[in-house]
A and B are shown apart, each in its own frame.
Chain A
Amino acid sequence: MSGMHWVGLMKLRDLKLSHRRLISQFAFFLLQNPLLLNFSKGKIHTGSSKMICTPGLNCYSCPAAVLSCPLGSLQLFLAGAQHRLSLFVTGFLLTTGVAFGRLICGYLCPFGLLQDLLYRLKTPKFPTTLRHLKYLKYVVLILFVILLPLVATHELTGLGNPWFCKYICPSGTVFAALPLLAATEGLRRFLGLQFVLKLSLALGILLLATPIYRFFCRVLCPLGAIYALLNPLAIYRLRCARESCTSCGACARACRLGLHPQVKANTPECLHCGDCLSACPQKALVYGLRD
């Protein structure tokens, strides 16, 4: 590696963790959505790269996307003629979830990036643990991603619908519907109640993301629910070095999700925002492969 690259890497390491995370989020956004010019053209990518899923919530109808959404792909098989679970998508979610857990939510998800940017707006903030609401994402996963596409089928064709994409997914509305409708006059003729409802839901979610940190990820995201289940098992994980920790509680006070990393790191709700790492005076919280 050339000297200039080393200097670049050293400078990157010197940045605050929150800035490094933001750079990573933008980099992954561009990696998943490099065809930015397609936004103005109102067309989507049709190349073979769309065989591969992305680990984050990234609609495959986003004009800039070159990869497929794992939730859309999962529902495609469940709602399809055979009504079965996709082995590839299930394996993909299991592999990425076990490898990284919700680090994907924190560092890689494009919709997570949008919410992080909204939370940076200078508005009143409401730190809340969302104690009971956090379970709603599991209901959305079971009901809208698995059961309804499987069971609620058309009586003639026998095909189901991708219920989560159709009625809830704000990523599809923001990154796919709005740019496509803005650029394609033909599509605008089909606008109806369903779009109005979906747009209202997306706007509501984005409004709530401004005062409440990552509202959608914590309350509604079914992909977040899958990664939340696997987060405690993640191989690359956050851990608290007991020998360094003085139990001062600085990490818990810094956590916007109301978690206590010094007691238990890598809980299902941890989005790996890194606030606790930055707050720890002893640098007792570290990432690694083992506990």
Chain B
Amino acid sequence: MSSSNRFTLSAVLLVLGCSLMLAGTRGGELLLIMQKAVLVCLECIGLG
């Protein structure tokens, strides 16, 4: 892949990534992540 094509693909993926983050934020995903992360994850520590 040529350098300019690669750079274009990277830029497109970067915009796609930012759009997905924005959509997820609007969909209230951050709150769900926080609700999970503020409790001790028993699976993570091998007890769940």
> Number of contacts between A and B (CB, 8 Å)?
157
Main secondary structure of the interface of A (DSSP, over half): helix
Asked whether A194 lies within 8 Å of B38 as measured between CB atoms, the reply is no
Q: Is the CB of B45 within 8 A of A88?
A: no
Q: Is the CB of B13 within 8 A of A87?
A: no
**Is A233's CB under 8 angstroms from B13's CB?**
yes
- Chain B residues within an 8 Å CB radius of A177: 44-47
Residues of B within 8 A of A (CB): 3, 6-7, 9-11, 13-14, 16-25, 27, 29-34, 36-48
A91 within 8 A of B: yes
**A38-73 CB contacts (< 8 Å) to partner B:** 44-48, 50-53, 59-61, 68-69, 72-73
Q: What interface size band does chain A fall in?
A: 35 or more
Return chain B residues, CB-CB under 8 Å to A181: 45
Interface assignment of A99: CB less than 8 Å from any CB of chain B: yes
Task: Point out the residue from B6, B29, B34, B42 that lies within 8 Å of A87, measured CB to CB.
Answer: B29
A87 CA to B34 CA in the complex, in Å? 15
CB distance from B26 to the nearest CB of A (A): 9
Report the minimum CB–CB distance from A102 to chain B (whole Å). Answer: 14
